[in-house]
Amino acid sequence: MPFYHQLGNIPPKRHTIFRKPNGDLYYEQLFGTIGFDGMSSNIYHEHRPTQVKEIRAQYSVAPKVAKANNMQSYRFRGFQVPPENDYLKSRKVVLTNSDCNIILAAPKHSTKDYFYKNTDADELIFIHKGTGKLRTFLGNLDFKYGDYLLVPRGVIYKLDFDTEDNRLFIVESYRPIYTPKRYRNWFGQLLEHSPFCERDIRRPQELETYDEKGEFLIKVKKQDDIFDMVYATHPFDVVGYDGFNYPYAFSIHDFEPITGRIHQPPPVHQTFETDAFVVCSFVPRLYDYHPQSIPAPYNHSNIDSDEVLYYVDGDFMSRNDIEAGHISLHPAGIPHGPHPGAVERSIGQTETEELAVMVDTFKPLKVTEEALKIADDTYFRSWLE
Ligand SMILES: [Fe+2]
């Protein structure tokens, strides 16, 4: 996150002597991205963060691609993804390319007997159903319906859920995920025309510190493999850190919509950016107020980006027969637009309660076997009159 955060105890100057009450030294770690050029945090551990005891297993979790080259519009019924006890097993990649994985998950239980670390992807976890706590070695964040949790690559974490009824929409990104640059000034501060500001971004406030030795399993993801790595000390042994690289939460309900007299284009809904895709939030808002305006979108040719819409809540005005948890995929190369009747239906409407998350990727997405299990194979004909 491009603003400074400090939690726990740190010495007044970096890379200097920092002792425990018993006189021993704490162990410093620079937790950085993009070599030494990207965002980083300086972390102080009770123990060396390097004490690997054992690499117990290595196994692939690569998505199984069913359609590598896709030209068909799809609807996927996300809530048909079956709940699973284990968090990592519950994550089903439905769409994938070399920049990102788009994942649906319905985990029933918290990650109890292991920690998880994704080494080469930032994870954007959208909470559709469920409450609980994201616990990380850099502090904890409570979550609820509508939260985006941004977990930068390398953050060791667990997810604690309050109940078994959880639905997550996750984007796993090999490109760093930032807030849009056009909403930040040259210092990184969010500008007045930004649809959210620093006050809306929740930073970790509660640091769990364990000074424990033993056997601690971290499931480490690297290049589509999971490595079961056993460490000799508790991964949550940080006494303090400061810097710019840490997990944070942002609620979709805190996104302030930008509206106009006539239909506003999708970039006004943009919430996150990478150099490979954007993430937009469609939130309840007043419709266009020109007396002759058509609130429904026009047909559009996303000629060079695939469009994924994840429907969260409310009535999605431009679509017929869309329910919460559904995903629509409109592939690059062909135009798409409102369903028959949607334009007429929208005229005279003054507001919408729709809530949705959109991911537009600049490279085509491959459709996985998991996606075809929940696919509506007739959706591509749904514009026929
Ligand atoms: Fe679209």
Cα 300 to ligand 1 centre (Å): 6
pLDDT of residue 61 exceeding 90: yes
Phi, psi at 180, each rounded to 5°: -60, 135
* Contact yes or no for 262/289 (Cβ under 8 A): no
Cα 190 to ligand 1 centre (Å): 27
pLDDT in tens, 344-354: 999 999 999 99
Cα 82 to ligand 1 centre (Å): 28
- What would the mean pLDDT of 119-137 be, rounded to a whole number? 98
Cα 275 to ligand 1 centre (Å): 19
Cα 336 to ligand 1 centre (Å): 6
DSSP annotation string for 333-356: TSEE-PPTTHHHHHTT--EE--EE
State residue 347's pLDDT score. 93
pLDDT in tens, 64-97: 999 999 999 999 999 999 999 999 999 999 999 9
- What would the mean pLDDT of 268-288 be, rounded to a whole number? 97
At 89 the three-state DSSP class reads helix
Cα 134 to ligand 1 centre (Å): 32
Cα 360 to ligand 1 centre (Å): 9
Cα 339 to ligand 1 centre (Å): 12
DSSP annotation string for 245-309: ---EEEEGGG------SSPPPGGGGEEEE-SSEEEEEE--EEPP-STT---SPPPEE-TT-EEEE
Cα 309 to ligand 1 centre (Å): 8
Cα 307 to ligand 1 centre (Å): 6
Cα 373 to ligand 1 centre (Å): 24
Cα 212 to ligand 1 centre (Å): 51
- As a whole number of angstroms, the distance between CA 172 and CA 323 comes to 24
Cα 363 to ligand 1 centre (Å): 16
301 falls in which pLDDT band (50, 70, 90)?
Answer: confident
Cα 358 to ligand 1 centre (Å): 9
- What would the mean pLDDT of 102-127 be, rounded to a whole number? 97
- What would the mean pLDDT of 354-369 be, rounded to a whole number? 97
Around ion ligand 1, residues with a beta carbon closer than 5 Å are 307
Count of CB atoms situated within 10 Å of the CB of 225: 13
- What would the mean pLDDT of 8-33 be, rounded to a whole number? 97
Cα 359 to ligand 1 centre (Å): 10
Cα 133 to ligand 1 centre (Å): 34
pTM: 0.97
Instruction: Enumerate residues 6+ apart whose C-beta is below 8 A from 99.
Output: 173, 174, 175, 274, 276, 277, 361, 362, 363
Cα 337 to ligand 1 centre (Å): 6
- 251 vs 64, 223, 262, CA distance in Å? 32, 30, 27
pLDDT of residue 212 exceeding 80: yes
At 110 the three-state DSSP class reads coil
Cα 67 to ligand 1 centre (Å): 21
State residue 258's pLDDT score. 96
- As a whole number of angstroms, the distance between CA 140 and CA 149 comes to 11
- What would the mean pLDDT of 313-321 be, rounded to a whole number? 77
State residue 320's pLDDT score. 72
pLDDT of residue 322 exceeding 90: no
pLDDT of residue 211 exceeding 90: yes
Total length of the chain? 385
Q: Token pair for residue 216?
A: 């601690």
With the CA atoms of 385, 316, 359 and 380 taken in that order, what torsion angle do they form, in degrees rounded to the nearest 10?
A: -20
